Amino acid sequence: AQSVTQPDARVTVSQGASLQLRCKYSYSGTPYLFWYVQYPRQGLQLLLKYYSGDPVVQGVNGFEAEFSKSNSSFHPRKASVHWSDSAVYFCAVSVDNYAQGLTFGLGTRVSVFP
């Protein structure tokens, strides 16, 4: 079975500063990796995805992430955050099979202060 760890429950950053989130997964096979963002009273929006190939992927809203097989990690980064980036960010993993459910981490709550 697969698992996801997000070691930081909360991150606080100043507007304009960079943001680094962390995600480590556990799975012996080929993972599909995702980051989703959840704004208050909303569902999940896809931010980043990694299936294979170039380990650096570009996402939406200025996010990019690097996949590391050796470290079992998929860490996203944003160079300059805005107050509207305040939200809860979830890392998720799926196995390489058709129609598999996602396994989520517990999320990282990001607060951006002006």
Partner 1 sequence: NSKVIQTPRYLVKGQGQKAKMRCIPEKGHPVVFWYQQNKNNEFKFLINFQNQEVLQQIDMTEKRFSAECPSNSPCSLEIQSSEAGDSALYLCASSQGYAEQFFGPGTRLTVL
Q: Which is nearer to partner 1, 19 or 50 (CB)?
A: 50
Neighbouring residues of 13: CB distance < 8 A, sequence distance ≥ 6 = 19, 81, 110, 111, 112, 113
Binding of partner 1 at residue 29 (CB under 8 A)? Answer: no
Half-sphere exposure of 86 (CA within 13 A, CB side): 11
- The span of 17-25, 35-43, 62-70, 78-86 binding partner 1 (CB under 8 A) equals 35-43
46-105: contacts with partner 1 (CB under 8 A): 46, 49, 88, 90, 98-99, 101-104
Per CB under 8 A, residues contacting partner 1 are: 32, 34, 36, 41-46, 49, 88, 90, 98-99, 101-104, 106-107
